[in-house]
């Protein structure tokens, strides 16, 4: 049985006086893919940011490989092996693709060649500046750059948002390969329910800052009633 990498227990967090997450308990094992689903504004991004240390944690526990990390600064959590790909992507616009990748590189299995293997488009554009890339290519670069830090877990916040269908398909396939072939552990926040469930092993649905449903991704994919109730999305639409 795979070791638990990340364990959240009775987590309560938010921004200043505003409580967004209220009693979240989730664990994820090494090599697993977890989907975080729910309507807009239910706390998905806040949960990712709380794991990384960017919100105000009022109660509960965040354990990484059994170590309590609630009081660690974000950069210390990153050094422990948590890799975050934010919605804003935050690539370096005036550096080339290759420079974006090498500037953050640390020793480990993920190197430039492996990133190019996962995202052949980046290899084709390796001399282009970050601001010369399309939105989809920038997203690939944001993921590739985080992989170059050789994290043990990747936190992806809506990586498919606003992208053309063909790019959504390409990115989804790459993220799926990261889990199935490379054994990367991921937590994926995404509005594309079908794509998300196909890329992950387990799913959690949030509503009003609480976990309201847990299931194997393949089971939830077939459970239209639950998807309608909590997400309001019809698979296949």
Pairwise CA distance, residues 193 & 223, whole Å: 12
**Assigned domain for 7 exists:** yes
List pLDDT tens digits, range 61-107: 999 999 999 999 999 999 999 999 998 888 999 999 999 999 999 99
pTM of the model: 0.92
Share of residues in the chain with pLDDT > 70 (%): 97
pLDDT of residue 85: 94
**Assigned domain for 131 exists:** no
Mean model confidence pLDDT for the chain: 93
In the predicted structure, residue 1 carries a pLDDT above the cut 70? no
**Assigned domain for 153 exists:** no
List pLDDT tens digits, range 156-177: 999 998 898 999 999 999 998 8
The C-alpha torsion from 193 through 225 and 43 to 152, rounded to 10°, is -50
CATH number at 202 reads: 3.40.50.300
Closest by CA to 154, choosing from 197, 113, 186, is 186
Number of domains in the chain: 1
Q: How confident is the model at residue 237 (pLDDT cuts 50, 70, 90)?
A: very low
* Residue span of the structural domain in which 75 resides: 1-81+183-237
Residue 43 dihedral angles phi and psi, to the nearest 5°: 115, 10
**Assigned domain for 191 exists:** yes
**Assigned domain for 204 exists:** yes
In the predicted structure, residue 2 carries a pLDDT above the cut 80? no
**Assigned domain for 58 exists:** yes
């Amino acid at each position: 049985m795979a070791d638990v990498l990340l364990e959240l227990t009775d987590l309560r967090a938010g921004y200043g006086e505003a409580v967004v997450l209220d009693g979240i308990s989730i664990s994820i094992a090494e090599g697993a893919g977890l989907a975080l689903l729910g309507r807009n504004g239910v706390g998905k991004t806040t949960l990712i940011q709380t794991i990384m240390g960017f919100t105000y944690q009022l109660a509960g526990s965040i354990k990484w490989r059994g170590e309590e990390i609630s009081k660690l600064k974000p950069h210390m959590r990153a050094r422990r092996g948590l890799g975050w790909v934010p919605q804003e992507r935050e690539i370096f616009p005036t550096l080339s693709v290759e420079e974006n990748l090498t500037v953050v590189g640390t020793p480990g299995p993920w190197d430039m060649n492996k990133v190019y293997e996962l995202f052949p488009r980046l290899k084709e554009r390796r001399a282009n500046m970050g601001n010369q890339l399309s939105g989809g290519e920038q997203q690939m670069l944001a993921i590739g750059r985080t992989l170059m830090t050789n994290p043990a877990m990747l936190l992806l916040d809506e990586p498919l948002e606003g992208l053309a269908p063909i790019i959504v398909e390409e990115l989804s396939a790459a993220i799926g390969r990261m889990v199935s072939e490379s054994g990367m552990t991921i937590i994926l926040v995404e509005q594309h329910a079908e794509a998300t469930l196909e890329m992950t092993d387990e799913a959690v649905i949030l509503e009003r800052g609480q976990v309201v449903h847990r299931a194997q991704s393949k089971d939830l994919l077939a459970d239209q009633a639950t998807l309608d109730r909590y997400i309001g999305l019809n698979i296949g639409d």
